[in-house]
Structure 1
Amino acid sequence: MTNRLHFASLAALLAALPIAGCGGSDSLATPDCGTYAEAPEKASGVVYVSASCGARDGDGSVERPFASIQQGIDASVEGGAVLVDAGTYAENLSITKPVQVLGADKAGDPNNASIIVQAPSAYAITVEGATDVLLRGIIVQRPQGAGIRVQKNGSAVIEGSRVEGATAVKEDGHGVMASDKGSIIVQRTIIVQSEGAGVHVNAAGAKVERSIIVQSGRLAGIWVQSGVGEVSLLENEISENTEAGIAVLGSRAIIVQNQVKNTKSRGPDGMADGIRVLGNGAIGESYVEIGGEKAESKNVIEGNDRAGILFSGERARGIIVQNEVIGNADDTTRGAGIWVQSKAGTSPNADQSVGIRIEQNRIEKNHFIGIGVTNNARAIIVQNQSISGTIAGEIMANGIPTKIGDGLGVYAGASAHVDKNMISSNARVGAVFFGASNMCVVTNNTFEKNNEGSIIVQNVDGLVLDSNEADVPPVAPAIPIGVDSSDL
């Protein structure tokens, strides 16, 4: 993975921020005062802003810069650029025309961002109705409601910036948010400790690329609902968020080359999924591609407290291809590496096929179940190089404490086509089919070194088993294995 951002620790990052006061004296600046980005070649015009040596009666020239960023925005022509000196600006920004607001670092490295915005009112920076806005090199500290909000058909590129510690206002509290047919591109940006989502997209378009989104306190690191067009999430670090690393509801999305790790729940038995995809009659259809045909498209989904990847609802569709799904579901929260539930995969794809396609993944060392297919969901599970090392966790089955640790579990009317997988070294058995649909097919798989046997089949009529290789034959369970719809 290339071009990834790094910082030593969150504490060090926050401690390093400059705390210089806002400028704005009545005196005129000297010609040499301030450090600015180069003027963009195609900018319609340029104005200058300096917190330390700008004048309240400045004219926006490099000799007489404005004292506030909003002055520069207001004075800029459409397609113009506002070049901002390093410093702290205690103001809210409202952008209603195409303009660029640029810090001095033209490389767009968030660790070199130099414009500090400390907004006194909610929604620190708002882009409304304006297209082709560029925000680069900005640090938004402890904004209320949102650090950057794009709405009402506005569009903005947010590059090389940081949003830190967004606090809640009503239902918001997001680092960056887009709504009302707005559109955002977030690139090489760090978003930390938002009380809501790190990035919140509702009825809007979005691309989030090569960014770090950590420690969001509610909803998800990235939350996408009713997205406009296909939302793209590429090569991000998404970790230590609450409830979900990425949540997609009623939207189309492509998710490639991300690291989605260590999602936590808000309380006992809470949700804590690396990637969660929901689609039903109320929120609409979701189609999500997680990974892709090229090996470099893989996501690493690791250490999330409930499920690594979850698809849920009769209008949830998609593929899970060439990912690493490792160490998800802790020993207290029921979950799985990959969990397909509640009729997911039953809505026809464009070619009229059905089923969530799970192919060529490494699914290893998850608790309870490597892949779970439950509650009338449908899955196509083919050519996964490893469904292995599932760690046992305790459940109550028919009132009896029972430990499960299975490579694959298909339950409660669900169906799965399982072909050409390596299923090995799981704590209990390779695969369990309990109360599953009679449409299940299990062919050409290899079962090795599963602790209590290869396959358990119970309360299932018509299961097709053919041409599987196993080091031991299927065994009948010595203890109850029932897992009903409330268990998973």
Structure 2
Amino acid sequence: MTNRLHFASLAALLAALPIAGCGGSDALATPDCGTYAEAPEKASGVVYVSASCGARDGDGSVERPFASIQQGIDASVGGGAVLVDAGTYAENLSITKPVQVLGADKAGDPNNASIIVQAPSAYAITVEGASDVLLRGIIVQKPEGAGIRVQKSGRAVIEGSRIEGAIAVNEDGHGVMASDNASIIVQRTIIVQSEGAGVHVNAASAQVERSIIVQSGALAGIWVQNALDEVSLVGNEIRENVSAGISILGSRAIIVQNQVKHTKSRAPGGVADGIRVLGDGVMGESYVEIGGDLPESTNMIEGNDRAGIVFSGERARGIIVQNEVIGNADDTTRGAGIWVQSKAGTAPNDDQSVGIRIEQNRIEANHFLGIGVTSGARAIIVQNQSINGTIAGDIKVNGLPVKIGDGLGVYAGASAHVDLNTFAGNARVGALFDGSASTCVLTNNTFEKNTAGAIIVQNVNGAFDYGDNKGDISVDPPVAPILSDPSEL
């Protein structure tokens, strides 16, 4: 059961504008000017800022607030708070000391964010080398490069804020970015229509929790590369992004309670994966847990145009446990609900076991394949209650049209241990092994009402362990044509 917040619709969020002088129930209204948050109890000092009635010669008091947020930051002491009235601030912010920049809503609801930053230069808000920074209740509109950039060992919490329409500059264009040994915690924040990634993490640490990240135009909704420690992605809504909902490269991550939906490609037939995990000799090792042993860990991975989940590369490891993987791969892009490829799962886990563990998931109504394992990859596929209803997709093999719609496809030297699963109602067969390793095991599974039969095994050298399967069982002889290696997603 997810704990994510149920925010208003995206259209309403983009249309809503904060009303100057209005705040949440924890706001402090003064008889002089503005509406402010209450001062944090442990703040070492407080200054006030108001766009509507602050002055260049203000002193930061509630009676004579500063006119700009940067004035407030510069005047604050380490550990202090800058309380900002609702309004529009046409400035870039540079934060190099421990400070809190707070809008009036203490609850941290992005719908009540009231500080609008319209930066005239690239990188609207930069946190550099400072720890214990809190940014709450800020709207950053159309920033160039990034809405909020945290770098050079900076440490920042971003809460109850919105970043809208980040514009690409050079290789950036991200809603929030962290690099160079920085650390970010993004909570209850909305990031929409970034031209790069919604959240971009490179050589840094990150937690992203209960946030909405939508319509990023390149890379991914969340992009993580060479993270310093385990990245935590919990309870987020990640949808309608381009290329990937979440990309993990050479990093460790735990992904639970998220909705990852409707990823699109840049061009027809292009890359469009819900969650993509890459690990090889260039990017480094990735270990990612998608879901977990507790029922409340479930992710919903649905309607992504190419694949729901992809593990790729000889140094990609991890688990896919107790998730809903529904309706991924459209009828024009060859894909799968879950795809394990390019020697993924061959590097030993901490307990020296090998194989991507795919367990207790519901894998239904995906195009082409429910699960694909190919190109020397290894998977342990056990106790999935449904690998069902795979929809046939049209491809050509040697110029001949072929329909593929299999619950499981294991190809090209790949290996799979398949035990205690249910394969039902798939458009072609329940399980196909074509050129797979002879070490595959297929035991104790149930096959029901698969259109062309239960199992096809062909081009496999050596013995093949069928075990004791049950239900609507048929083992067909080799058939052709069959795509011998659909590994190049």
State the shift of 1:486 in Å. Answer: 5.5
State the shift of 1:439 in Å. Answer: 1.1
Change (3 A) 1:19 1:85: closer
Does residue 105 (structure 1) correspond to residue 113 (structure 2)? The answer is: no
State the shift of 1:15 in Å. Answer: 2.2
Deviation per residue, 1:401-450 (Å, 9 max, x gap): 10010000000000000001011110000000000011101111111110
Give the corresponding residue for 2:485.
484
Give the corresponding residue for 1:277.
277
Give the corresponding residue for 1:24.
none
Does residue 248 (structure 1) correspond to residue 226 (structure 2)? The answer is: no
Give the corresponding residue for 1:69.
69
Q: Is the 8 A contact 2:2 2:257 kept in 1?
A: no
SS at 2:466's partner residue? Answer: strand
State the shift of 1:290 in Å. Answer: 0.2
Give the corresponding residue for 1:178.
178
Does residue 463 (structure 1) correspond to residue 464 (structure 2)? The answer is: yes
Does residue 328 (structure 1) correspond to residue 316 (structure 2)? The answer is: no
SS at 2:108's partner residue? Answer: coil
Change (3 A) 1:3 1:108: farther
Give the corresponding residue for 2:192.
192
State the shift of 1:398 in Å. Answer: 2.9
Question: How far apart are the structure 1 equivalents of 2:49 and 2:202?
Answer: 33
Kindly provide the amino acid, as one letter, of the partner of residue 159 in structure 1.
E
Q: Is the 8 A contact 1:357 1:381 kept in 2?
A: yes
State the shift of 1:485 in Å. Answer: 4.8
Question: How far apart are the structure 1 equivalents of 2:342 and 2:249?
Answer: 15
Which 10-residue stretch deviates more, 406-415 or 466-475? 466-475
Question: How far apart are the structure 2 equivalents of 1:84 and 1:478?
Answer: 70
Q: Is the 8 A contact 1:452 1:475 kept in 2?
A: no
Question: How far apart are the structure 2 equivalents of 1:486 and 1:232?
Answer: 29
State the shift of 1:476 in Å. Answer: 3.1
Kindly provide the amino acid, as one letter, of the partner of residue 265 in structure 1.
S
Give the corresponding residue for 2:350.
350
SS at 2:454's partner residue? Answer: strand
Q: Is the 8 A contact 1:402 1:479 kept in 2?
A: no
Q: Is the 8 A contact 2:377 2:415 kept in 1?
A: yes
Report 1:76-475 matches (<5 A).
76-461=76-461, 462-475=463-476
State the shift of 1:378 in Å. Answer: 0.4
Q: Is the 8 A contact 1:238 1:259 kept in 2?
A: yes
Question: How far apart are the structure 1 equivalents of 2:91 and 2:329?
Answer: 44
Give the corresponding residue for 2:24.
none
State the shift of 1:473 in Å. Answer: 1.5
Q: Is the 8 A contact 2:19 2:114 kept in 1?
A: no
Deviation per residue, 1:153-183 (Å, 9 max, x gap): 0010000000000000000000000000100
Question: How far apart are the structure 1 equivalents of 2:319 and 2:3?
Answer: 26
Question: How far apart are the structure 2 equivalents of 1:400 and 1:121?
Answer: 56
State the shift of 1:91 in Å. Answer: 0.2
Question: How far apart are the structure 1 equivalents of 2:179 and 2:285?
Answer: 19
Kindly provide the amino acid, as one letter, of the partner of residue 482 in structure 1.
L
Q: Is the 8 A contact 1:31 1:62 kept in 2?
A: no
Q: Is the 8 A contact 2:375 2:487 kept in 1?
A: no
TM-score calculated relative to the size of structure 2:
0.96
Question: How far apart are the structure 2 equivalents of 1:75 and 1:188?
Answer: 28
Give the corresponding residue for 2:39.
39
Q: Is the 8 A contact 1:431 1:454 kept in 2?
A: yes
In structure 1, the gaps of 5 or more residues are 21-29
Give the corresponding residue for 2:27.
none
Kindly provide the amino acid, as one letter, of the partner of residue 233 in structure 1.
L
Question: How far apart are the structure 2 equivalents of 1:202 and 1:480?
Answer: 44
Report the identity percentage. Answer: 82
Kindly provide the amino acid, as one letter, of the partner of residue 356 in structure 1.
I
Deviation per residue, 1:109-163 (Å, 9 max, x gap): 0000000000000000000000010000000000000000000000100000000
Give the corresponding residue for 1:23.
none
Does residue 52 (structure 1) correspond to residue 52 (structure 2)? The answer is: yes
SS at 1:70's partner residue? Answer: helix
Deviation per residue, 1:440-470 (Å, 9 max, x gap): 0111111111010000000012221111113
Kindly provide the amino acid, as one letter, of the partner of residue 328 in structure 1.
N
State the shift of 1:9 in Å. Answer: 3.7
State the shift of 1:370 in Å. Answer: 0.2
Report 1:16-27 matches (<5 A).
16-18=16-18
Kindly provide the amino acid, as one letter, of the partner of residue 239 in structure 1.
R
Give the corresponding residue for 1:27.
none
State the shift of 1:269 in Å. Answer: 2.2
Q: Is the 8 A contact 1:398 1:482 kept in 2?
A: no
TM-score calculated relative to the size of structure 1:
0.96
